[in-house]
């Protein structure tokens, strides 16, 4: 396998990647970086979890001259969650680049802090089209110095109706600019937008090379509309996944499934497009922290999620398009790990299911749901609780500060501390249930870096 230091990647970027145990190039990185580091345009087809973020983050970072205090690269993402994740990856890769500033501009977040951050200048802007367009139109964001622009998950952006927003944003960008377009599918709409914004672009398709796809075991269970909920519960207790995403086609279905699962004793919560940003973040952090076993979501709400180690995906509702089905099941078996994707089939799903099976790489077994039984005593419960702290990077808080305080002051065993995510003004910590009381006592009575920090446990 080729490595990053075999390419003209800045040594400080290579150093940061090595710190994070990233040395070998993924297929999408190997295919695109020689092109993009030569300052050429590229249109790449790659699924989420393929390493595509670093494939475009590295050329964006290398396009920046930190002596100039204005935006020189812009990365557009379809959802707030994906934008936050992309920004974190850019910051990670640029850790040793002195004075490089990354700014996130997303909807659903207060406008005031973003306006103040824009006044202080930034080099790379990562955001959602709606909010970026708003700042451009109000002349708070000057894109006249952009050298590199990225459309991440372009097909999703077009599905969500952002084409006009992109036109407004890019009208403020110089004509001669490097453009990188990432998309899981190459639809007519994506082809049209590529023709509009890319110049003499190389088209790279690595979807068939991604190692995680064969690791997904697919199976469909035939059921009836009035027994589908019972089948779902039976699937969850039969396979007993440590984590599962259940996909529904409507918000109403999401609410009904969540209510039924919670009533039965499952650890479940929903993700819907109309949720407030803070509520969305809390649910996602609980799920990523293994403090929530079942996440129920619509396709729109789940777009842009990049959560590792999802053991199982359940299609409570069959996707209406084969591409959406592929995108759903790609949430499991990430980075070569094993995963299972289960689809619940009713007679009314035959038309859409036929389109999906015709596009599948191999035959998908179909079984009768009567072979499954729901066993309440087999419901998997979380090992962790998720605690949110009202302090983060702005308060100079680091993961090491939290680990140190918990292990030393609260005497929480190191193995009881799970995922830690330090965000701008909040931090999330996963703590095993047996140590939650000790951790909460620390935050209630003790101090972190000499300061009291408010904390609460996140629950449904």
Per-residue tokens: 284: 């996602």
pLDDT of residue 144: 96
If 0-12 CB within 10 Å is exposed, 13-18 middle and 19+ buried, where does residue 190 land? buried
Q: Give which of 111, 116, 84, 77 is closest to 428, Cα–Cα.
A: 84
Distance of alpha carbon 8 from alpha carbon 168, whole angstroms:
34
Lowest mean pLDDT among 38-47, 183-192, 412-421: 183-192
pLDDT of residue 337: 66
384-458 to CATH, choices 3.40.50.12280, 3.30.70.330, 3.40.50.1860, 3.40.50.1370: 3.30.70.330
pLDDT of residue 276: 82
Q: Give which of 136, 376, 55 is closest to 238, Cα–Cα.
A: 376
Distance of alpha carbon 74 from alpha carbon 60, whole angstroms:
8
Q: Where in the chain is the domain with CATH 3.30.70.330?
A: 384-458
* Angle, CA 351 vertex, CA 346 and CA 352 arms, to 5°: 85
- CA-based Rg of the chain, rounded to a whole angstrom? 23
- Mean pLDDT estimate for the chain: 90
Query: Phi and psi dihedrals of 315, rounded to 5?
Result: -90, 90
Say which CATH topology domain 4-209 has.
Rossmann fold (3.40.50)
pLDDT of residue 304: 61
If 0-12 CB within 10 Å is exposed, 13-18 middle and 19+ buried, where does residue 133 land? buried
Query: Strand, helix or coil at 255?
Result: helix
What's the pLDDT band for 417 if we cut at 50, 70, 90?
A: very high
Q: Are 60 and 77 in contact (CB under 8 A)?
A: no
pLDDT of residue 81: 82
pLDDT of residue 48: 66
Q: Are 269 and 218 in contact (CB under 8 A)?
A: no
Predicted confidence (pLDDT) at residue 349 exceeds the cutoff of 90? yes
Q: What is the mean pLDDT of residues 141-158?
A: 93
Q: pTM for the complete prediction? A: 0.69
Question: CB neighbours of 195 closer than 8 A, spacing ≥ 6?
Answer: none
Q: Are 189 and 153 in contact (CB under 8 A)?
A: no
C-alpha 228: how far from chain center: 28
Q: Where in the chain is the domain with CATH 3.40.50.300?
A: 4-209, 213-378
Render pLDDT for 173-210 as a digit per residue (tens, 0 to 9).
Answer: 999 999 999 998 888 889 999 999 999 889 998 876 54
Q: What is the mean pLDDT of residues 37-56?
A: 88
**Level-2 CATH architecture, domain 213-378:** 3-Layer(aba) Sandwich (3.40)
Predicted confidence (pLDDT) at residue 243 exceeds the cutoff of 80? yes
Q: Give which of 302, 310, 260 is closest to 283, Cα–Cα.
A: 302
pLDDT of residue 213: 45
What's the pLDDT band for 282 if we cut at 50, 70, 90?
A: very high
């Amino acid at each position: 396998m080729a490595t990053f230091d075999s390419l003209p990647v800045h040594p400080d970027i290579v150093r940061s990647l090595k710190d994070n145990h990233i040395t070998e190039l993924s297929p999408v990185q190997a295919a695109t970086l020689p092109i993009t580091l030569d300052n050429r345009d590229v249109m790449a087809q790659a699924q989420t979890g393929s390493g595509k973020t670093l494939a475009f983050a590295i050329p964006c970072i290398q396009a920046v001259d930190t002596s100039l205090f204005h935006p020189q690269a812009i990365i557009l993402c379809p959802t707030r969650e994906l934008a936050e994740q992309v920004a974190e990856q850019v910051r990670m890769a640029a850790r040793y680049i002195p004075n490089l500033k990354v700014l996130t501009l997303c909807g659903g977040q207060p406008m005031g802090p973003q306006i103040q951050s824009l006044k202080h200048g930034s080099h790379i802007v990562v955001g959602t089209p709606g909010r970026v367009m708003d700042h451009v139109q109000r002349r708070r964001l000057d894109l006249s110095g952009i050298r590199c622009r990225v459309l991440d998950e372009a097909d999703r952006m077009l599905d969500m109706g952002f084409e006009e927003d992109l036109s407004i944003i890019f009208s403020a960008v110089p004509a001669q600019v490097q453009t990188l377009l990432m998309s899981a599918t190459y639809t007519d709409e994506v082809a049209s937008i590529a023709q509009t914004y890319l110049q003499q672009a190389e088209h790279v398709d690595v979807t068939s090379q991604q190692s995680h796809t064969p690791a997904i075991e697919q199976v469909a269970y035939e059921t009836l509309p009035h027994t589908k909920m019972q089948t779902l519960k039976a699937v969850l207790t039969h396979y007993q996944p440590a984590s599962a995403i259940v996909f529904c086609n409507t918000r109403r279905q999401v609410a009904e499934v969540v209510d039924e699962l919670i009533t039965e004793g499952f650890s479940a919560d929903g993700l819907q497009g109309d949720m407030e940003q803070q509520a969305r973040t809390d649910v996602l952090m609980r799920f990523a922290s293994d403090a929530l076993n079942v996440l129920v979501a619509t396709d729109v709400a789940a777009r842009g999620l990049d959560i590792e180690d999802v053991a199982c995906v359940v299609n409570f509702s069959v996707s209406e398009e084969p591409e959406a089905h592929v995108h759903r099941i790609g949430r499991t078996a990430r980075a070569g790990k094993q995963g299972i994707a289960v689809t619940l089939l009713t007679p009314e799903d035959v038309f859409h299911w036929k389109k999906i099976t015709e596009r599948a790489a191999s035959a998908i077994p179909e079984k009768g749901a009567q072979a499954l039984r729901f066993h309440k005593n087999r419901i998997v419960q979380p090992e962790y609780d998720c605690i949110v702290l009202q302090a983060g990077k702005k308060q100079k808080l680091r993961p090491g500060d939290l680990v140190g305080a918990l292990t030393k002051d609260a005497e929480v065993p190191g193995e009881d501390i799970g995922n830690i995510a330090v965000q701008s003004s909040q931090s999330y910590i996963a703590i095993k249930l047996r140590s939650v009381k000790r951790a909460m006592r620390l935050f209630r009575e003790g101090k972190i870096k000499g300061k009291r920090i408010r904390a609460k446990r996140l629950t449904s």
